[in-house]
Amino acid sequence: MRVRPCTFTLYHVCIKTRFKSGLTTMKGIVPIALVAVVSLGGELLVANESDLTAEELVARVLDQTRGLSSYSELTMTIHRPDWQRTSSFLVWTQGREDALIRFTAPARDAGLATLRKGERMWTYSPKIQRTVRLPKSMMSQDWAGSDFSYNDLARSDDLLNQYSLSLTEIDITDDGTVYTIEAVPKENAAIVWGKEVLELRDDFVLLKHSYFDQEMVLVKWLETLEIDEFDGRTIPKRMRITKSEAHDRWTEIVYEEADFDIDIPDSKFTLFALRDSG
């Protein structure tokens, strides 16, 4: 049975469940450990006993890949119809807004770096030895020629600060519980998207992140292709972002190593550190 859309309060959301038996798929509503099903005026609603709001769910997803601080080694593959290239980079994060990203390979890109410090962001090119501060409006632009934006790689908190979040669906599958969250920009927010939709597991692993333009047309989506455990945390290991207008254009990033809640000096998130390739 498919549950029709419902209006919900802070702790009431629509739920969809799936059960597989042989070759038959049944859809229905059942009680589960942390979710109580109630019927109000003919509508089936769900009370989430974990009391996690949409904002809290998104915050947990963001923190899952950062902790209080983190160090990561990643590879990135940019694929186009007539070419493909792979690069490697390092990422240091502290808190929810500070991040330093530095390319290590190939040789021509080594030393290229991006620093985010609170609401400010800079890039550095060692070839011309120049530091450029980026306006906030550019943080949604493509980063390093890829299909990721600056915000994507810096794991920005814009979703928490610039959007109104709604928990719209809980999907119970054989693989666990999946939450769907709709993010709509707040009035006067400097956001290019009409809305964003996130799908995440009950262990706070992001499965899919879709971006819609002002006409609510899907522009691109980020999808987790592989999940693994790093330093005791379950996180997406391999993620691909694809643009709707060209499915043969995509970018993948793969975590090779990740450490969390480590000591990183504040000096790592400075303009001096941005320019220091050591």
pLDDT (0 to 100) of residue 156: 63
pLDDT tens per residue, range 10-59 = 334 444 544 333 433 333 333 322 222 222 333 333 334 357 899 999 99
Give CA–CA dist 137/81, Å, rounded. 29
Domains, the chain, with CATH or none: 12-51 (no CATH), 56-275 (2.50.20.10)
3-state helix, strand, coil in the chain (%, to 5): 10, 55, 35
Question: Hey, is 221 helix, strand or coil?
Answer: strand
Cut 0.75: pTM above it: yes
Q: Quick check: 251 and 76 in contact, CB under 8 A?
A: yes
Give CA–CA dist 101/113, Å, rounded. 5
Q: Which residues contact 168 (CB under 8 A, 6 or more apart)?
A: 5, 13, 14, 180, 181, 182
pLDDT tens per residue, range 212-234 = 999 999 999 999 999 999 999 99
- Structure tokens, 260: 């969390």
Give CA–CA dist 139/222, Å, rounded. 17
Q: Quick check: 205 and 233 in contact, CB under 8 A?
A: no
**Residue numbers of the chain with a pLDDT score lower than 50:** 1-15, 17-49
Cis-peptide into 31, omega within 30 deg: no
Question: Hey, is 101 helix, strand or coil?
Answer: strand
